[in-house]
A = this chain, B = another copy of it.
Amino acid sequence: MVSCPRNANDRLELSYDASMAWDTEQTQRQLLDAGAVLFARHGFAGTTMDAVGRESGVNKERVYSYFGSKSGFFTAVLDDQLANLLEDLPIEGVGAAAVGTYALALFDRLQSQPGLARLLAWESLELTEPVAVDCRSLSCANLAAGLTVALPGVTQDAAEQLLLSVVTLVVGWWTLSRVADTILTVDTTPAARRAALRADAEALATARS
């Protein structure tokens, strides 16, 4: 598994002292974290710079000196949150059951950070090309390769389509929630959906192997 290096300014220095009155890295971190919350909740167009200043506890003017513009800030937040989204989630084991297990792991990661799935949706709806495309493509290629290992006889194309289907199914729980509201009546709990997604991922893998 090849890990993806972060931006140069992501972890610039460790030489800052907590007693310093100014900590530019922490200022940027506060802004990025506030942006992650606000952009996940309201998207790019729905987030105001006033809200960024309020949520971060930092003056909104700092955004422009560090990220240039609201657009630059948006992509910086997406990059910060999404670049390593699929990292450290390898396909473990072999056979279709491994794919079901992977779906569960992805579901749990998104459930522990509910903003991530929504950020993926905003990115798709409001941008014309993905952020951190090199880094994420590498992660995805590794995952697809892992699928061809776990499922002997599956071509690379089939592995990519399978991975896309599994990710779409899992992410869709948080990004198409009104659709779920209109369809589900018997058991609307996340636990029920989680179990169904594991079975679905396993079924998709079984059919392709």
User: Chain A residues in contact with chain B, CB under 8 A?
Assistant: 42-46, 118, 120-127, 129-130, 133, 136-137, 140-141, 144, 155-157, 160-161, 163-165, 167-169, 171-173, 175-187, 192-193, 196-197, 199-200, 202-204, 206-208
B124 touches A178 (CB 8 A): yes
Give the distance to chain B from A126, nearest Cβ to Cβ, in Å.
7
List, in ascending order, chain B residues with CB within 8 A of A129's CB.
Answer: 178, 181
B176 touches A124 (CB 8 A): yes
Dominant secondary structure at the A interface: helix
List, in ascending order, chain B residues with CB within 8 A of A193's CB.
Answer: 161, 164
Q: What is the CA–CA distance of A136 and B181 in the complex, to the nearest angstrom?
A: 10
Give the distance to chain B from A159, nearest Cβ to Cβ, in Å.
9
A176 touches B181 (CB 8 A): no
Give the distance to chain B from A172, nearest Cβ to Cβ, in Å.
4
Name 9 A/B residue pairs within 8 A (Cβ), A-sorted.
A124-B177, A127-B178, A130-B181, A157-B192, A160-B184, A160-B186, A164-B184, A167-B179, A203-B203
Q: What is the CA–CA distance of A206 and B136 in the complex, to the nearest angstrom?
A: 33
Give the distance to chain B from A10, nearest Cβ to Cβ, in Å.
20
Indicate which residue in B155, B157, B199 contacts A207 across the interface (CB closer than 8 Å). Answer: B199
Chain B minimum-CB-distance residue to A48: B45
List, in ascending order, chain B residues with CB within 8 A of A164's CB.
Answer: 179-180, 183-184, 193, 196
Chain B minimum-CB-distance residue to A78: B178
